[in-house]
Structure 1
Amino acid sequence: MRDNPEYRNVPLAIGGSSDRRGVISTCNYQAREFGVRSAMATAHALKLCPDLVLAPGRMALYSEISQQIREIFSRYTDKIEPLSLDEAYLDVTDCSMFSGSATLIAEDIRQAIFSETQLTASAGVAPCKFVAKIASDENKPNGICVITPDKLDDFVIGLPLGKIPGVGKATLGKLNNIGLYTCADVRQFPFEDLIKGFGKFGSVIWDRSHGLDDRNLSLSRQRKSVGVERTMAQDIRTKEDCIKMIDSLFPLLEKRLAKSEAKIQSQGIKLKFSDFQQTTVEHRSQLLDKEYFLELLTEGLSRQSNRGIRLVGLHVGLADPEENKQLVFTFVS
Structure 2
Amino acid sequence: MKDEDLLPRNDCSRRIIHLDMDAFYASVEMRDHPELRGKAVVIAQDPRLHGGHGVIATANYRARKYGVGSAMPAIKAIQQIPKEELVFVDPDFAKYHAVSDQVHAIMHEVTDQIETVALDEAYLDVTQNKLQRSSVIELGCYMQQKIYAELQLTCSFGASYNKFLAKMGSEYAKPFGRTVILPQEARAFLAKQDIKEFPGIGKKTQAALRDLGINNGADLRAFGTRKLLEKFKKAGYYMAMQAYGIDLSPVRATRQRKSLGKERTFEPEIYDPVQAQTLLRQYCGEIAQSLQARGLVARVLVLKLRDRDFNTITRRQRLPAASNKAADFYPVAKELLDREPEFIENGLRLLGVSGGDLSGARYEEISLFPTDE
Q: State if a TM-score over 0.5 links the two structures.
A: yes
- The correspondence for 1:110, drawn from 136, 140, 144, is 144
| 1:281 maps to which of 285, 301, 311 | 311
User: Residue 154 of structure 2 contacts residue 175 of structure 2 at CA under 8 Å; is this kept in 1?
Assistant: yes
Q: Which residue of 2 aligns with 1:76?
A: 110
| Partner residue, 1:36 | 68
CA RMSD across the alignment:
3.9
- Matched residues in 1 for 2:316 and 2:186: separation? 45
The code of the aligned residue for 2:46 comes to S
Q: CA deviation at 1:261?
A: 8.7
How does 1:133-172 map onto structure 2 within 5 Å? 133-172=167-206
Q: Which residue of 2 aligns with 1:8?
A: 37
Q: Cα offset for 1:314?
A: 5.6
Distance in 1 separating the partners of 2:112 and 2:203: 35
Q: 1:168 to 1:223 in 2, by over 3 A?
A: farther
C-alpha distance in 2, partners of 1:169/1:208? Answer: 17
Structure 2 partner of 1:87: 121
After superposition, the C-alpha distances for 1:2-37 in whole angstroms (9 at most, x for unaligned) are: 111121222111101113211211111111112211
The alpha-carbon deviation at position 192 of structure 1 amounts to: 2.8
Q: Identify unmatched segments of 5+ residues in structure 2.
A: 1-29, 292-296, 319-332, 357-373
User: What is the CA-CA distance between 1:151 and the residue it aligns to?
Assistant: 1.4
Shift of 1:313: 3.3
Q: Distance in 1 between matches of 2:108 and 2:164?
A: 21
Deviations 1:236-263 (A, max 9, x none): 668xx89x96xx99xx8xx99x94799x
Q: How many Å separate the matches in 2 of 1:194 and 1:27?
A: 36
Aligned partners of 1:2 and 1:119 also within 8 Å? yes
1:313 maps onto 2:345 in alignment: no
Aligned partners of 1:76, 1:226: CA distance in 2, in Å? 29
Residues 255-270 of structure 1 correspond to what in structure 2 (within 5 A)?
A: 259=298, 268-270=304-306
**Identical amino acids, percent of aligned pairs:** 28
2:47 equivalent to 1:18: yes
Aligned residues: 291
**Could you state the TM-score of these two structures normalised by the residue count of structure 1?**
0.74
Equivalences for residues 180-191 of structure 1 within 5 A: 180-191=214-225
Instruction: Show CA shifts across 1:265-316 (max 9, x none).
Output: xx85245xxxxxx56421599999x999789653x46745xxxx7x983669
Distance in structure 2 (CA, Å) of the matches to 1:86 and 1:226: 16
Distance 1:130 1:39 in 2: 23
- Note closer, same or farther for the CA distance 1:183–1:296 as it changes in structure 2 (3 Å cut): farther
1: CA distance, partners of 2:212 / 2:230 = 13
Q: What is the CA-CA distance between 1:143 and the residue it aligns to?
A: 2.0
Which residue in 2 is equivalent to 1:53? 87
Question: Where does the alignment leave 5 or more consecutive residues of structure 1 unmatched?
Answer: 272-277, 319-333
1:156-235 equivalences under 5 Å are 156-221=190-255
Distance apart, 1:225 and its partner CA: 8.5
CA distance in structure 2 between the aligned counterparts of 1:228 and 1:89, rounded to whole angstroms: 22
Once the 2 structures are TM-superposed, how far is the Cα of residue 60 of structure 1 from its aligned partner? 0.9
Post-superposition Cα deviations, 1:22-66, rounded to whole Å, max 9, x if no partner, equal 121111111111221112222221111123111111111110111
CA contact (8 A) 1:268 1:293 kept: no
The answer (yes or no) to whether the contact 1:281–1:296 under 8 Å persists in 2 is no
TM-score (norm. length: structure 2) = 0.66
Whole-Å separation in 2 of the counterparts to 1:88 and 1:228:
20
Shift of 1:175: 1.4
DSSP 3-state at the match of 1:99: coil
CA contact (8 A) 2:305 2:313 kept: no
Q: 1:190 to 1:125 in 2, by over 3 A?
A: closer
Match of 1:323 in 2: none
* Alpha-carbon spacing, 1:33–1:261, altered in 2? closer, same or farther (3 Å): closer
> Quick one: which of 157, 160, 177 aligns to 1:123?
157
Q: Residues 223 and 203 (structure 1 numbering): CA distance in 2 closer, same or farther, change over 3 Å?
A: farther
- Larger of the two Rg values belongs to structure: 1
> Relative to 1, partners in 2 of residues 1:67 and 1:293: Cα closer, same or farther, differing over 3 Å?
closer
Tell me: higher relative CO, structure 1 or 2? Use CA pairs within 8 A at least 6 residues apart.
2
Alpha-carbon distance in structure 1 between the residues aligned to 2:336 and 2:138: 55
Cα deviation, 1:214-247, whole Å, max 9, x if unaligned, reads 1111213576885679x9xxx8668xx89x96xx
CA–CA distance in 1 between the matches of 2:245 and 2:153?
A: 32
